[in-house]
Chain A
């Protein structure tokens, strides 16, 4: 693929410094409007909170090693799992791929200099930091013990820093909206010349679909959370039955955002996978349009299924049936994507570099995560499994396992582009294997704990569940070992010289035509699209010519 490495690539004696050093100094980073620097700062922030949320998870697993008290009291446990959930959802999973990897990669993939609104982008980062500080400082107010779902009337009647935590989620929502607005505008206006909608890399389709959900659903969460604070602080009766409100209304409002938010978490993961698999299969993506449209379909259908979280909350039979029916349709675009990715690998030239290993991890974990969703979409089985460990395991497979492995795939994929350095690929393969084994060892037992009837958010449990909890806790240690190893070799790579080539993986999208790391303005001059995003033919058809095949 040497000929695709552009003339202004690493080979030329670049007169410009890369974006990491131009200009230097902390102040220049704090005031930067460069999407790559903002993306990196997001990434370090997300990784920091991932460490925090992960350590909390290890403590939770340690407590669950035995029934009754192991290392903490019930009150401490309740605060811990709430903080784990809130940190992981609002500070890690939601921003991980769009705000960190998306900010870094999207303009490069589109051949743009930056996002459409660079200052808004920086504002979103600062709002994220403010929200993050608010969320963590709830600890000073005695913590929050509501669970990240803030269900009323528990959340309006318990003590601690609930109002602050809820306001933090409200503030973080704006950071998410700003990113979404920015990406939509960027994709509409800043694509390279000749790049039509169907010549965009699929990552952009995923980001676009995500952004639509972010700007349509997040305001509903914002309003809901404000109503909650009004009820807590001013005593306005909206959700509290004693004040004439309806506690179940909160659940409807909450899930109207938070179910689409699940797709804010999974669509970006799918977007990364759609880039990694063709590159390491050296073969064009199978079913480009099917993958692109399935992202949009998931984004739209995602708005119509929220009440499947409430099949046992006293909804009518009719409402239950409708929401179950619609939920099953979401399974189809997800299944289509998985088959498309496998078909892309078929007859390819597959190279098992770290990003590809993580992509295969993703395919396996997402298959389990997706299929176990069928149990919960189906009415009669959901009645048994709702709010048990089965649900805990299912959403960890989708939100943690799938999102996390895709995030790691993307980070390993673009790491040379971000820092101009390669990491130790042997250690990366070991790390990836440990993550896969550790993740499954942690969460497979939880499916059985749940189907046997143990509810979630339980500090104490019946002795019959202990064996499987021990297995799960040991699994969490393997997972942690894999992640710490990954952190070690990635950080170690930063000490080496910047020797990564512009296109280490032989990718065909535009970011590989920029230097590694790119200059501040990404490209020297405006790159022009020569071929489709995944065109691996020796003499690719020029852009815009529909394939006869």
Chain B
């Protein structure tokens, strides 16, 4: 009867989906059985005891304690079985293993943002390795959303002002659809995301070079994204305002005076050095407070920042 399960449910793609599906199908068969059982009794009664004359008399049967006990106790036993079965599946999906990869999920109208342990961020695309436990730590920036992965049989609300967790071990490489299942307004039905369940090799590539979206993004745009997301914007303005560090506006190709009194031309190698070893040259009048971004930015992201600064004339 696998065809029936596959008709009703999307293909299970997480470690505990099988147990949920087992219970689901059990209740399906129970429902079908009792529908036809009750329907059959009613149909039989109507056929057998259809009124044939107005004067018909009927037996006066007020109750039957034994029969009533039977139809109270049997349903009770069945529902208790379902309770424990469902509880077991719920508990299994409750506590994540200690070695789970932790990914922070932020829901906001109407996008899903994912942040990985290395600081990488993606929008509406979540990359996870196959057969490794993954824990999502979720919160919302506005109203309540809900993170639902039908293929994983998992769902949890994403709530402002608190964290909720969800964990899974994906078992099938490929794509999984994510829906928002708590009504959140105009864009609710378009608040979708895709989980890419990667093979270990694909996941390595993702961690090294970013997801496809980032890999295809023009350098200038990538640089802008890095500027906004990796903290550059905190100290370096793009409109000429003086912050903790020099503004990026119009510095490309110009010469700056270092704290050592020498002149430096702002070109690609200078910017690269300033990102990876910021203390090598500090512009006169500024504190040597910038941290290094060694290991935090990918090679292509550094090129992106260079292109971005070049564009800020």
- Indicate whether A and B interact: yes
- A residues lining the B interface (CB < 8 Å): 74-75, 78, 145-147, 151, 153-154, 157-158, 241-242, 246-248, 281-284, 286-290, 311-314, 317, 320-321, 324-325, 328-329, 331-332, 335-336, 338-340, 342-343, 345-352, 360, 363-364, 367-368, 371-372, 374-375, 377-384, 386-388, 448, 451-462, 535-538, 547, 549
Task: Across the interface, name the chain A residue whose C-beta is closest to B80.
Answer: A328
Q: Give 22 pairs: A residue, B residue, CB < 8 Å, sorted on A.
A: A74-B187, A146-B183, A242-B161, A283-B59, A286-B62, A290-B68, A312-B146, A317-B90, A338-B38, A343-B64, A346-B49, A350-B45, A350-B50, A350-B51, A367-B39, A371-B31, A374-B79, A379-B89, A381-B24, A388-B181, A453-B10, A460-B190
Contact of A346 among B45, B86, B89 (CB under 8 A): B45
- Which A residues are in CB contact (< 8 Å) with B150? 384, 452-453
Known: A384-B24, A451-B24. A288 touches B62 (CB 8 A): yes
- Which B residues are in CB contact (< 8 Å) with A288? 62-63
Q: Is the CB of B185 within 8 A of A158?
A: yes
Extra A-B contacts (7), CB below 8 Å, given A74-B187, A317-B94, A347-B58: A153-B160, A241-B161, A242-B161, A324-B86, A335-B72, A336-B68, A371-B30
**How close is A402's CB to chain B, nearest CB, in angstroms?**
14
Q: Is the CB of B56 within 8 A of A74?
A: no
Q: Is the CB of B183 within 8 A of A147?
A: yes
Q: Is the CB of A242 within 8 A of B160?
A: yes
Known: A151-B183, A459-B189. A157 touches B143 (CB 8 A): yes
As a 0/1 sequence over residues 12 to 45 of chain B, the CB contacts with chain A under 8 angstroms (1 = contact) are: 0000000110011001001100110011011001
Q: Is the CB of B89 within 8 A of A282?
A: no
- Which A residues are in CB contact (< 8 Å) with B85? 378, 380
Q: Is the CB of B35 within 8 A of A368?
A: yes
Q: Is the CB of A386 within 8 A of B181?
A: yes
Known: A324-B87, A332-B75, A378-B85. A345 touches B45 (CB 8 A): yes
Tally of A-B Cβ pairs under 8 angstroms: 271
Q: Is the CB of A284 within 8 A of B62?
A: yes
Task: Across the interface, name the chain B residue whose C-beta is closest to A388.
Answer: B181
Which chain B residues (95-114) contact chain A, with CB distance < 8 Å? none
Q: Is the CB of B8 within 8 A of A364?
A: no
- Which B residues are in CB contact (< 8 Å) with A372? 31
Contact of A360 among B46, B143, B157, B177 (CB under 8 A): B46
Asked whether any CB of chain A lies closer than 8 Å to the CB of B142, the reply is: yes
Q: Is the CB of B164 within 8 A of A328?
A: no
Contact of A332 among B45, B76, B154, B164 (CB under 8 A): B76
Contact of B62 among A241, A312, A381, A547 (CB under 8 A): A547
Give the distance in Å from the alpha carbon of A500 to the alpha carbon of B153 in the complex.
Answer: 57
**How close is B172's CB to chain A, nearest CB, in angstroms?**
15
Give the distance in Å from the alpha carbon of A242 to the alpha carbon of B183 in the complex.
Answer: 19
- Which A residues are in CB contact (< 8 Å) with B153? 380, 383-384
- Which B residues are in CB contact (< 8 Å) with A386? 155, 181
Q: Is the CB of A455 within 8 A of B179?
A: yes
Contact of B93 among A247, A331, A383, A387 (CB under 8 A): A383
Q: Is the CB of B49 within 8 A of A345?
A: yes
Asked whether any CB of chain A lies closer than 8 Å to the CB of B9, the reply is: yes
- Which A residues are in CB contact (< 8 Å) with B49? 281, 345-350
Q: Classify chain B's interface size.
A: 35 or more
**How close is B70's CB to chain A, nearest CB, in angstroms?**
9
Give the distance in Å from the alpha carbon of A455 to the alpha carbon of B27 in the complex.
Answer: 21
Give the distance in Å from the alpha carbon of A177 to the alpha carbon of B27 in the complex.
Answer: 37
Q: Is the CB of B143 within 8 A of A154?
A: yes
**How close is A4's CB to chain B, nearest CB, in angstroms?**
14
Q: Is the CB of A145 within 8 A of B185?
A: yes
Q: Is the CB of B60 within 8 A of A535?
A: yes
Q: Is the CB of A347 within 8 A of B79?
A: no
As a 0/1 sequence over residues 156 to 180 of chain B, the CB contacts with chain A under 8 angstroms (1 = contact) are: 1101111010000000000001011
**How close is B3's CB to chain A, nearest CB, in angstroms?**
14
Asked whether any CB of chain A lies closer than 8 Å to the CB of B144, the reply is: yes
Task: Across the interface, name the chain B residue whose C-beta is closest to A447.
Answer: B8
Q: Is the CB of A324 within 8 A of B83?
A: yes
Residue of A242, A286, A371 with most chain B CB atoms under a 10 A cut-off: A371
Asked whether any CB of chain A lies closer than 8 Å to the CB of B82, the reply is: yes
- Which A residues are in CB contact (< 8 Å) with B80? 328
**How close is B188's CB to chain A, nearest CB, in angstroms?**
6
Asked whether any CB of chain A lies closer than 8 Å to the CB of B61, the reply is: yes
- Which A residues are in CB contact (< 8 Å) with B31? 368, 371-372, 374
Q: Is the CB of B156 within 8 A of A312?
A: yes
Contact of A364 among B19, B35, B93 (CB under 8 A): B35
Residue of A329, A345, A381 with most chain B CB atoms under a 10 A cut-off: A381
Task: Across the interface, name the chain A residue whose C-beta is closest to B90.
Answer: A379
Residue of B10, B76, B185 with most chain A CB atoms under a 10 A cut-off: B185
**How close is A228's CB to chain B, nearest CB, in angstroms?**
14
Q: Is the CB of B156 within 8 A of A351?
A: no
- Which A residues are in CB contact (< 8 Å) with B251? none
Known: A331-B75, A455-B181. A345 touches B148 (CB 8 A): no
- Ranked nearest first, the 5 interchain pairs of A and B with the lowest CB-CB distance are A241-B161, A453-B150, A380-B89, A378-B86, A379-B90
Asked whether any CB of chain A lies closer than 8 Å to the CB of B232, the reply is: no
Known: A157-B143, A246-B161, A378-B82. A314 touches B20 (CB 8 A): no
Q: Is the CB of B83 within 8 A of A325?
A: yes
Known: A324-B87, A328-B80, A346-B49. A380 touches B35 (CB 8 A): no
Asked whether any CB of chain A lies closer than 8 Å to the CB of B2, the reply is: no
Give the distance in Å from the alpha carbon of A497 to the alpha carbon of B107 in the complex.
Answer: 65
**How close is B127's CB to chain A, nearest CB, in angstroms?**
21
Give the distance in Å from the alpha carbon of A363 to the alpha carbon of B160 in the complex.
Answer: 43
Q: Is the CB of A342 within 8 A of B45?
A: yes
Asked whether any CB of chain A lies closer than 8 Å to the CB of B67, the reply is: yes
Contact of A458 among B51, B60, B62, B189 (CB under 8 A): B189
Q: Is the CB of B93 within 8 A of A380?
A: yes
Q: Is the CB of B58 within 8 A of A332?
A: no
